[in-house]
Homo-oligomer: A and B are copies of this chain.
Amino acid sequence: MGRTVVTIGREFGSGGREIARRLAELLEVPFYDRQIIALAARDTGFSEEFIQETEQKKTNSFLYNLYYSGQNLPVNDQVFIAQSKVIRQVAEKGGCVIVGRCSDYVLRDRPGCLHVFIHAPLEERIRRAEQEHGGGEESPKTLVARQDKERAAYYAHFTARKWGDLSNYHLTVDSSLGPERVADLLAGLVKSMESAG
């Protein structure tokens, strides 16, 4: 099992999550996504459902935070801190692939990480959103725009960085090159980095 920690940020509908999962399989390392929420939930004492709900709210909703926070920090900050702690813990255990949750930022100073961002042309993302989430009240186009906006706001709130700014990543890649090819490319890069010691 490798020792490189790969973090993957992605645009909604880019297929980045599937590429991340495939990469974890190729590297034979654990894959963390919703699992992080579950692990974090235990630490904070909040339920997994509550955390998911909190993440979907606007992160700057003052009244919402005031209402739910019985402690010093707003509740969404408490959740972020708990998740960041879990991200650092799993990274210490060995090689893995972590999707989203500002993991590139949380692990920005940790050596032995590869920070990746997956994007795709808008029309491809809308098509993928229609395949995977079609039939809802929102049009696929609106869904993609809303999700991108939420991810950018979440990232900006907790990191004070711009989401999708290439200087935050070792590699950004357009998944329209082919999801399997991208997973192979990343696996090859990780292996090259590890063989160099």
Contact = CB atoms under 8 A, between A and B. Distances in A.
A178 interface: yes
Interface residues on A, range: 20 to 34
A170 B181 contact: no
Interface in A66-111: none
Contact of A192 (B121, B184, B193): B184
A174 B169 CA distance: 7
A170 B173 contact: yes
A157 to B, nearest CB: 21
Interface of A: 117, 119, 121, 164, 166-167, 169-174, 176-178, 181, 184-185, 188-189, 192-193, 196
10 nearest A-B pairs in the assembled complex, by CB-CB distance: A172-B172, A170-B174, A166-B172, A166-B166, A171-B173, A181-B192, A185-B189, A170-B177, A119-B166, A188-B188
